[in-house]
Amino acid sequence: MSEAERPPHAAARVAPHVAIVIVNYRTPDLALRCVETLAAERVALPGLEVVVADGGSGDGSAEKLAAGLADPRFQGWARLLPLPINGGFGWANNQAMLRLLQQDDPPDYIHLLNPDTEIAPGAVALLAQWLAAHPRHAAVGSQLFRPDGATVGSAFRFPSIGREFLRGSATPALGRAFGIRPTLVEDAGDPDWVTGASVMLRAEALREVGLFDDGFFLYFEEVELMRRLRAAGWGVAHEPQSRVFHVGGAATGVNVANVARRPAYWFNSRRRYFVRTGGTATLVAATLAWMAGRALWKLREALRLTRGQPAAAPEATDHLRLSLAPRPGDRRPTVARWNDPPDQPPAWMETAR
């Protein structure tokens, strides 16, 4: 939709129209608490609306959310979107975004927010202000914090063969020696991608490049989206003043930073990402690079040179099983377009059959 096609009253607004999408999966109490923390943002953003999408929880979450959102405090600005299946993070967000972008008064910006988050005052308004001031940026992400106040990595560089080697070796000094910049961005400047736990997206950019690729079930979908945005000439940024407290993994039951073994869908998403963005050769090279790094770690460990440093998660067996060859559908882009009809099944379900 071009600016000329927007409803007349949209151009007359002073504050941007922001919609927040929260995808819940079996964490209704956290999701409702998240919505509560958003109420104060309506002072700076009077047109703020919130869609809580329940991703087919099947445990009474949708009913609990419906009852909670019926509270008079939420009337007129927060609503429930019950979905029939657990179609994954990208698909569930797409279902809400499709409806928002196709409504009579579509938002200027869509803020994706995890249900296991609580925002600091002004966090949403700061992201909206940042995008308003930077019209060629498509995405801006918040700074995440643990409940104890410790910072959580929120801005990153794209996965690469070299970074997979560093990840397997769990030895940052090798990155400095070989000139491979780390995945985590800690200095000033635009990152390649930002966390999907709290990111605001420009609707105009989504109309241009598409929404999430729903061939991903969970993980890497926001990385792929931001790679598409950057390839189309849009910027991605991190706004550290937008502070969001995050209980990592509560919404999925898996915190990949701390889990002893990653779930199979993490490897499936990683495989699809490398195939979609670099082809089979890149997938194989990245996997072999991780294994080489892991072998180096094991050698250093045998020589007692690791000095208590944490090792990478033991992924070798899963990589041999899931990461050395593309699966059917990995190469096929299945990016949702803003004007697609909602409620189509996710592509990953088709390829999983």
Question: Helix 264-278 and helix 221-231: axis angle, to 10°?
Answer: 20
Helices (H), 118-233: 123-133, 161-169, 172-178, 203-209, 221-231
Kindly report the number of other CB atoms within 10 A of residue 176's CB atom: 12
Per-residue pLDDT at 2: 43
At which residue do the structure tokens 């579509």 appear? 106
Per-residue pLDDT at 109: 98
Per-residue pLDDT at 1: 45
211 Cβ contact partners less than 8 Å away, ≥ 6 residues apart: 90, 93, 94, 97, 98, 225, 335, 336, 337, 338
Where in the sequence is the domain holding 165, given as residue range(s)?
Answer: 158-187+259-332
Same domain, 202 and 124: yes
Is residue 276 assigned to a domain? yes
CB 143 within 8 A of CB 151: yes
Same domain, 63 and 168: no
What is the chain's pLDDT, residue by residue, as a tens digit (353 residues)?
Answer: 444 444 444 444 579 999 999 999 999 999 999 999 999 999 999 999 999 999 999 999 999 999 999 999 999 999 999 999 999 999 999 999 999 999 999 999 999 999 999 999 999 999 999 999 999 999 999 999 999 999 999 999 999 999 999 999 999 999 999 999 999 999 767 899 999 999 999 999 999 999 999 999 999 999 999 999 999 999 999 999 999 999 866 555 555 555 678 999 999 999 999 999 999 999 999 999 999 999 999 999 999 998 878 887 789 999 999 999 999 999 999 999 999 999 999 999 987 66
264 Cβ contact partners less than 8 Å away, ≥ 6 residues apart: 318, 322
Same domain, 147 and 65: yes
Question: Pick from 90, 88, 87, 18: which is nearest to 51 by CA?
Answer: 18
Is residue 338 assigned to a domain? no
Is residue 339 assigned to a domain? no
User: Bridge-partner residues for 20, per DSSP?
Assistant: 50, 111
Is residue 217 assigned to a domain? yes
Kindly report the number of other CB atoms within 10 A of residue 56's CB atom: 17
Per-residue pLDDT at 311: 80
Same domain, 110 and 45: yes
CB 128 within 8 A of CB 140: no
Is residue 9 assigned to a domain? no
Same domain, 196 and 80: yes
Q: Is 112 helix (H, G, I), strand (E, B) or coil?
A: strand
Q: What is the CATH number of the domain that holds 103?
A: 3.90.550.10
Q: How far apart are CA 37 and CA 48, in angstroms?
A: 13
Is residue 90 assigned to a domain? yes
Strand segments (E) across 177-309: 193-194, 198-202, 235-246
Same domain, 36 and 138: yes
User: How does strand 151-152 pair with strand 137-145?
Assistant: antiparallel
User: pTM for the full model?
Assistant: 0.93
φ, ψ of residue 18 in degrees (nearest 5): -115, 135
Is residue 21 assigned to a domain? yes
